[in-house]
Amino acid sequence: MALIVQKFGGTSVGSTERIKNVAKRVARWRAQGHQLVVVPSAMSGETNRLISLAKEISPQPDPRELDVVASTGEQVTIGLLSMALMEQGVKAKSYTGAQVKVLTDSAFTTARIERIDENRMRADLEAGFVVVVAGFQGVDAAGNITTLGRGGSDTSAVALAAALKADECQIYTAVDGVYTTDPRIVPEARRLDTITFEEMLEMASLGSKVLQIRSVEFAGKYKVKLRVLSSFEDKEGPGTLITYEEDPKMEKAVISGIAFNHDEAKITVMGVPDRPGVAYQILGPIGEANIDVDMIIQNASVDNMTDFSFTVNRSEYAKAMDVLNKQVKSHIKAADIRGDAKVCKVSLVGVGMRTHAGVAGKMFRTLAEEGINIQMISTSEIKVAVVIDEKYMELAVRALHKAFGLDQPQ
């Protein structure tokens, strides 16, 4: 008998019919004798509906009150799912974040979980109840309702699993696991049985949106055994298990997957004097404008002058260019500011490359053979990422998928 936390996303609970199906699935696990804590998201579309109402009232709604409104989506689902479980003959009991309680800081709309009181849940589990907990929400020390931000239900589930020392945290999604890359682009993409925690972080942050990245970080911190599964299959599939130790079997696979992101824009500050503090002078104003920077590259200098490049989310490209032209350019005496919003990032991810030389070289050769020019390169121990013209994205992903044998069984 295991203690399992199961998280169901908005699409999985998107209608009362689907909530009934989730209840049947949970009931099957319960019938096997497992103790279950279930964390549903809001019904799909509901959080957007609530935020739209708030925006009709106020273009910039007060964050505390926005959380009061937005947290109701999950509160509705926990009640409905508990009823549906009882209809299946399963004892069930719901809790809001405040009831559990899931204690967070007071950063409304982006709160962070500080502590979870597991006593009530533990008592209910011992008494044979399935415990249904609202994801995405918590309560601060003063009793104010908080939310964890978009995708926070994943984080809630992982945090509950950590607090309860659960045997496994299952994240049910619309896909049946983590794939070598997006099957919509590469039909030969394979489901991975396992992926390491570090690889998952790279895959998630680079645009394979299976799991919210914060939840993966949280899982890593508390060594929560995390599994991604499909909520739409009738039969229970194995999904993808996220591991913390490198599997000896995995050594043969150099690369686990290919991530990509076309919401990228590239900015280059040309002819920058290469002196201490110049990176800060460029990125400081960008950070103050709340613009997230992804890749950062500075070449070796020639004649004490260098080019400084970085990427930002495409939606923040115009804002970033504006900041640079108005606040930075003349200040640091840069020759020019150039930008390109039509780029994408493609990344090879795999712990295997730690012990295998030549991964980057093989990647660059593969792209060259397809006539794809590489504009930026960034590497880490388990990743090689390149920025290329966005029109080549699908071609690059398919070529690399084949070149690294990801279409072959592991």
Separation CA 260–CA 211 (nearest Å) = 15
Enclosing H/E stretch for 279: helix 278-288
Question: Nearer Cβ to a copy of itself, position 140 or 182?
Answer: 140
Question: Nearer Cβ to a copy of itself, position 66 or 175?
Answer: 66
Q: Look at residues 255, 187, 210, 194 and name the one whose alpha carbon lies nearest to residue 404.
A: 255
* Shortest separation between residue 31's beta carbon and a copy of itself, angstroms: 20
Separation CA 217–CA 212 (nearest Å) = 9
Question: Nearer Cβ to a copy of itself, position 90 or 216?
Answer: 90
* Rg (the chain; Cα; Å): 23
Separation CA 204–CA 388 (nearest Å) = 20
* Shortest separation between residue 57's beta carbon and a copy of itself, angstroms: 5
Question: Nearer Cβ to a copy of itself, position 133 or 382?
Answer: 133
Question: Nearer Cβ to a copy of itself, position 127 or 300?
Answer: 127
* Shortest separation between residue 396's beta carbon and a copy of itself, angstroms: 46
Question: Nearer Cβ to a copy of itself, position 83 or 278?
Answer: 83
Question: Nearer Cβ to a copy of itself, position 76 or 270?
Answer: 76
* Shortest separation between residue 185's beta carbon and a copy of itself, angstroms: 37
Q: Helices 46-57 and 72-87 sit at what angle, rounded to 10 degrees?
A: 150
The DSSP secondary structure of 26-55, one letter per residue, reads: HHHHHHTT-EEEEEE-PPTTHHHHHHHHHH
* Shortest separation between residue 12's beta carbon and a copy of itself, angstroms: 15
Q: Give the other-Cβ count within 10 Å of 395's Cβ.
A: 16
* Shortest separation between residue 348's beta carbon and a copy of itself, angstroms: 45
Q: Give the other-Cβ count within 10 Å of 403's Cβ.
A: 17
* Shortest separation between residue 50's beta carbon and a copy of itself, angstroms: 7
70 neighbors 47 (Cβ within 8 angstroms): yes
DSSP strand pairing (194-196 vs 240-243): parallel
Q: Give the other-Cβ count within 10 Å of 1's Cβ.
A: 8
**Quick one: tokens of 101?**
């309680």
Question: Nearer Cβ to a copy of itself, position 49 or 391?
Answer: 49
* Shortest separation between residue 132's beta carbon and a copy of itself, angstroms: 9
7 neighbors 169 (Cβ within 8 angstroms): yes
**Peptide bond preceding 101 in cis form (omega within 30 of 0):** yes
Separation CA 26–CA 4 (nearest Å) = 10
Please list, in sequence order, all residues whose beta carbon lies within 8 angstroms of the beta carbon of residue 146, skipping any fewer than 6 positions away: 67, 97, 104, 105, 106, 107, 108, 111, 137, 138, 139, 140
Q: For the stretch 199-220, what's the b/e string if a residue is b when 16 or more beta carbons lie within 10 angstroms of its beta carbon? A: bbbbbbbbbbebbbbbbbbbbb
* Shortest separation between residue 229's beta carbon and a copy of itself, angstroms: 23
Question: Nearer Cβ to a copy of itself, position 83 or 374?
Answer: 83
* Shortest separation between residue 25's beta carbon and a copy of itself, angstroms: 15
Paired with 265 in beta bridges are 312
* Shortest separation between residue 303's beta carbon and a copy of itself, angstroms: 56
Question: Nearer Cβ to a copy of itself, position 79 or 149?
Answer: 79
Question: Nearer Cβ to a copy of itself, position 82 or 256?
Answer: 82
What is the binding site for a copy of itself (CB under 8 A)?
Answer: 16, 19-20, 50, 53-54, 56-58, 61-62, 64-69, 71-72, 75-76, 78-80, 82-84, 86-87, 92-94, 96, 98-99, 143-145
